[in-house]
Structure 1
C-alpha cells in the first residue's frame, strides 16, 4: 500500500505541480508574486501569495487560483496562465498554499466536518480571509470574486461555491469532485476513497443539490455560475465525477439535466451548456477528449476568465442547441504550412497580431501531432520536442506590433503522421488558424 501511495503521489506531483501540461514564464511585468504573512483569521494555517498587476482599475476583480495536491501557490502561479491573464485584464490573483497533509502531499481540506460548515473553520475560512484582505488592501471589488483550481484546487472551488455563494460570483473547477463527496479524512485521498472509487459518488441530482442547500439554509440570493473541466482519460479523479458535478449544480439552479447547447469550441473540447429561462449559462461543462489528470492546459485559463466575464466579452448566454467548431477567440492569427517527405517534415508558421496593442514577449503553445518530434527550429526556441510544445521568442523578434507578423518554423521527424497542430495559443489566448 505504501508503494502504491508513493507512486500516486509521484504521479500527482508531476501532473499537478510541475506539469500542468503547459508551463508559462512569469509575466513580463514589474509586478511580482508577493507573500502576505498576516491576512486575518487562518484556521487552516495556510500561506497566502498575491499577484497584483501594475495596470489595474481602482476596484479590481479577484480570482482565487488553487493548486493540486503536493503543489503550492507559487508553483501554480508559475505553472498556469492566470497571472498572464491578470496582466491583460487587470484583476488580482490570490494563490493559497494548502498545509493539510493527506497522503498526496499537502491538499486543500474538503473532507473534514469543519470544512463542510459555513464559517466552521479550516481552509475555507482561511481562503475567505484572504479575499477580505485583498478587498481591503487592493480595493478588490466584492461583486467580482471568483474561484478556480486544479485537482485538489478544483475540489475546493466547488467547496467554496457551495459554502459562500454570497462571496463568490462564479468558479471554474478543473478535475474536481462535487461538494460533500468525501465522507471524512479516512475517505481521502483520491484513488482509495468511496468518492473517487464509486460507491459514495453515485447520488441523485436532488441528493447532490441538497448537500449544497443544507450548508446555508434559508439562503435566497444568487448562486455562483459554475464551469467544470475534466479529461475523459482521467483515472485518478475519474471522468464519471464530471457528470455528478453537473447533476449537483444543475439541481441547485433548478435546471434540466439536458443541456441547452452543445458545441466543440476547440478540437477535443466538447462543451455542454445549461442555461436558465433568460438564456444565461449557469453551468458549463467541458469534456477534454483523451486528457488524463493534466488540466488546465493551454488556453483553458483564458476560457475560465472569459466565463467569469473578466475579458470584456461578457459571453454568458446561449439560446440554441448546436454542435459547431468555433474559430479562435484571441487577438492573434496563425498560418502554418507543412512540407513533408519520407520520415521528416518542416513546418513554417506565421504569427499575426490582430489586436490593437503590441505584443512584447510571446510564447506560442501548440499540440504536436502524435508521432512527430522536433529536431531543430528557427526564429524561436522549442520545448519539449514532442507533445504539448511551447515556442518562445528569440529576443530579437519578441515584439509584434498591431497588425504585424513574424515567421518561425521547425523541422521534425514523423512516423507517417504529417498533420499540422490542431490549435495555437499565444500568451494564453487561442488564435484563429488558417
Structure 2
C-alpha cells in the first residue's frame, strides 16, 4: 500500500523515515512508479558530490532508469546528504565501514528498511547504484551490508576502504577489508558492475583496477577475467571485462571507457544497468542472471575469404523469420548449439513495395520480434545475420523501405557485437550485374550504396553483407559482379579497387554447387570475401 502522502510517479521527500542513531545530515526521497508491482524490488540511487536527490534523479532519468522503473515496477529510494555540511558521502570513516556503526551507511540501510515496511517492498530484491561519490558509497553499501544488497553498479568510484587518491593493496588484502567488516557472514556476496574512464581527472582510474582486485577476490575468482571484449558504444571505445563463476553466473563486470574522463559516457544507461541487476525480471526472487559474455565481432579471416567468429570458426546455422509472425523461440534458438551451429540468419521484415504510400507498412513493424531474436542469440552466444525479406516480391526491392529500415535498425543494434547486417535479400532477379541497365529491376547498386552509407552512419563497426546474389553463376558471374563492386567502391570509397575490411559479398546457392563454388573462388581471387546466406540442395 502506497502511503497517502506520496504522489505516485514523482520524486517525493519522505520526512519521517525513522532515522535513529545516524547522522542528521541525511534525507530520504522516493520514487514510486505508476506501474508499481506488488512486493516491488528497491533500487537505491546515490548522488555525486553535492548533487542531491534531484540532481542524481535527473541523471537517472536521462539514462533510462526512471523509465525502467515504470516498465518493471520497482521503487527507487534516493538518499541525500546535506550539500553544505557533507557534500560527499562518508564512504570511508570507521563509522560508515562498521555494520550498524552509526555512519551514513547505516542511515541508508534504515531507509531501505523503511521502504520495505512502508511500501511492502521485497527485502530479497534490493540493489544500489551511484556515480562519483555515489559510486564510492555504492561499493561501501555492498561491502558493509552484503546480506541486504543483491547487486550494485558503481560509476567512477573507489573500492571499499579506498580513497580518491588511489591506495594500493593485493587482491587478498582488499578482500580482507570487506570480509573483516562482516567476519561472521557466510552468504553470497553481491554482484557488482564497475564503470570508469581511463583518463578520469578527479577519481583516478587506478581505483577501478583496485576495485577489480577487491571484488574478484571477495567472490573467490581469479583476477584474470573470464572474457574481455572491445566495444564501440555511444561514440566511445570501451574495454569490457567479465568474471564468471563455475556455473556461468557473472559476478563482476568492469567497463573502462578508453580516454574517458570523470564525465563518463553511458552514465546510468538502463540498457546495461537494469539487465545486470536483474531488474528487468519481475518476481519475488533475485534472478542471479547469467549475464552472457558478449561474442566478439566477426572479422575477416587472415586469408580474407569470409567472416569468422571470435574463435576463428566459420559461421554456420539455420534461418528463422519475423516477417509475418513470431520467430523461433529462444529455447529452439539455443538448442542449435547442440547441433554444432553458431549462427542464425533472420529475415527481419518483408518490405512493402508500395512504401511510403498511404496505408503502406513502414519499417519497424517487427521490432519487438527482431529484438527477441537479438536477445536470444546474444544470450546463447550465437551470431545473427539480419536482412530484409522479399515475400511475394522476390527479386525486387524498394529503396525507400531499405534505407528507412536501416535508419531504424542500424542504431538499434549497433552495439550488439554478435550481429551482422545483410543489406537486402535477393534484390534483383537473379544475378549480377546489378549495374546493367537491363537488370530486373534496375538501380540496385544505387540501393546498396544508399543502404551501406546509412548503416555506416549509425553502425560504423557492424559487418555488412552486400548484393546477396541469388544465382552466382560461376566465373562469368564473378566478372559481372566486379562491375557492381567497382561502381559501389567508386561511390562509397572514391576508389574502384578499394579493399574491404568489414564487408563481404553475400551469395546464395541457386546456381548449384559447382558454379557457386567457382563464383566464390573467383571473387576471392579478385580480393573480395564472400559469405553464403542461403543454400540450395547439394550445397
| TM-score of the pair, normalised by structure 2 | 0.51
Which residue among 13, 17, 24 is the counterpart of 1:35?
13
1:237-291 deviation line (CA, Å, top 9, x unaligned): 0112111000000000110111111124543232101011111111000012232
Aligned residues of 1:229 and 1:287 also touching (Cα < 8 A): yes
For residue 217 of structure 1, report the CA deviation from its aligned partner: 0.6
Unaligned runs of 5+ in 2: 1-6, 299-308, 310-347, 349-362, 370-455, 461-539
* Residue among 282, 287, 291 paired with 2:256: 287
CA–CA distance in structure 1, aligned partners of residues 165 and 57 of structure 2? 30
Structure-1 separation of matches of 2:92 and 2:191 = 23
Q: Which has the larger radius of gyration?
A: 2
The residue aligned with 2:195 is 229
How far apart are residue 197 of structure 1 and its match?
2.9
**Does the 8 A contact of 1:260 with 1:319 survive in 2?**
no
* Unmatched 5+ stretches in structure 1: 1-28, 182-194, 327-332, 334-349, 357-418, 424-434
Aligned to 1:44: 23
The 10-residue stretch of structure 1 (223-232 or 76-85) with the greater mean CA deviation from structure 2: 76-85
Question: The residue matched to 2:129 in structure 1 has which SS?
Answer: strand
Q: Work out the CA distance in 1 between the residues paired with 2:102 and 2:264.
A: 29
CA contact (8 A) 1:154 1:172 kept: yes
Tell me by how many angstroms 1:133 deviates: 1.0
Counterparts of 1:243-258 in structure 2 under 5 Å?
243-258=209-224
Shift of residue 320, structure 1, vs aligned partner = 6.7
> SS of the counterpart of 1:159?
helix
Q: Name the structure 1 match of 2:65.
A: 82
Q: Out of 194, 198, 202, which is 2:168 matched to?
A: 202
Q: CA deviation at 1:82?
A: 2.0
The alignment status of 1:213 with 2:179, answered yes or no, reads yes
State the shift of 1:117 in Å.
0.5
Paired residues in the alignment total 296
Q: Distance in 2 between matches of 1:272 and 1:323?
A: 12
Match of 2:106 in 1: 125
Please say if residues 278 and 288 of structure 2, whose CA atoms lie closer than 8 Å, have aligned partners that are also in contact.
Answer: yes
Structure 2 distance, partners of 1:251, 1:241, is: 15
The answer to whether the Cα contact below 8 Å between 1:35 and 1:49 also exists between their aligned partners in 2 is yes
Alpha carbons 1:260, 1:318 under 8 Å: kept = no
Report matched runs for 1:100-249 at 5 Å: 106-181=87-162, 195-198=163-166, 201-249=167-215
- Cα separation, 2, equivalents of 1:73 and 1:351: 37
SS of 1:128's partner is helix
User: What is the distance in 2 between the residues matched to 1:281 and 1:250?
Assistant: 11
In structure 1, distance between residues paired with 2:52 and 2:459: 31
- For 1:252 and 1:53, the matched residues in 2 are separated by 35
Q: Greater strand share, 1 or 2?
A: 1
User: What pairs with 1:212-361 in structure 2 (closer than 5 Å)?
Assistant: 212-267=178-233, 268-295=237-264, 297=266, 300-312=269-281, 316-317=289-290, 323-324=296-297, 354-355=367-368
List structure 1 segments (4+ residues) > 4 angstroms apart after TM superposition.
318-322, 350-353
1:297 offset after TM fit, Å? Answer: 2.8
Write the distance in 2 (CA, Å) between the matches of 1:109 and 1:64.
16
Mapped to 2, the partners of 1:310 and 1:84 lie a distance apart of 12
Greater RCO structure (CA 8 Å; 6+ sep): 1
Q: Which among 33, 36, 46 is matched to residue 53 of structure 1? A: 33
Q: CA deviation at 1:180?
A: 0.7
- Measure the CA separation in 2 of the matches of 1:82 and 1:321: 22
Comparing 307-316 with 48-57, which one deviates more in the overlay?
307-316
Partner Cα distance (1:321, 1:51) in 2: 33
DSSP-derived class of the 1:203 partner: coil
Q: State the alpha-carbon separation in 1 of the partners of residues 69 and 52 from structure 2.
A: 19
Matched-pair contact (CA < 8 Å) for 1:262–1:322 = no
- The secondary structure found in structure 2 opposite 1:116 is coil
In structure 2, do the counterparts of structure 1 residues 351 and 152 end up closer, same or farther at CA, with 3 Å as the change threshold? Answer: farther
